[in-house]
A and B are shown apart, each in its own frame.
Chain A
Amino acid sequence: MSMKGGGFDRKSKASSEVPASSLADIAFLLLIFFMVTTVFQSDSNRPIEWPEAEAAMKIDEKQKNILNIWMERNGTVFMNDQPFTMPDVSAFVGPLYSMSERSLVISIRSDRLTPYIYVDQLQQELVEAGVVRVVFATQLEQSMQRERR
């Protein structure tokens, strides 16, 4: 009791605060880590000329539920950066479709000058795979362009 304040009034040398100056560094480090490890799309774009449409609507589905099927002018089909022959398409899409619990949306990305017969064959394959929702991917056509044409 002789000691004043029970010996607690000595000032402690260790700071009781969290060091805030390095917080920003930590946050940046995390940020850079996530930037480097994030993967956006699994397939790269094929060189196609897009068809245009005025009534094009946004695809209302999560990105992971959209499967892009690319089709070049000569009718070659690409999915996930790999070429496919037409009869193999349904065998590849079918399991994917049932795995996604029937919520898979197919986005057909075909060159504007592809002969329609290939697009029809692709549709037949998709019907065989049981797919119901299909989108013909287009670029939005501006009305101004249409008037000029």
Chain B
Amino acid sequence: MITLKDVLTRLDGELLTPGLPLDLECPRIFASDLMSDVLTSAEPGSLLLTGLANVHVVCTCSVADLTAVVFVQGKRPGADVISQARAKNLPLIATRLPMFQACSEMAVLLGEKGLGR
């Protein structure tokens, strides 16, 4: 199983919500900029990779029971978004990697853990 700490390291990410747990397991990964897709297709417990950095991301993840969010391509949410994520215990990570590269790294990580398809 991969944890949020594994994700943070692999994506050379920055934790935007210090203090929130990094030992959370991420059994599934979902990537999209469309919150409509997250609400329709993401399974509970998924880690979301997205280039969208507004407050709707936090609300969507909370409603759909996602574990955490990685903002790709150097996108950084505002302080209000981070504050709301803290209130909902939703860890946020920022990475400079573009979406495709971030997804590729996650696929490699899953493979290393014996979880690849």
A and B together in one complex: no
Q: Which residues of B contact A (CB under 8 A)?
A: none
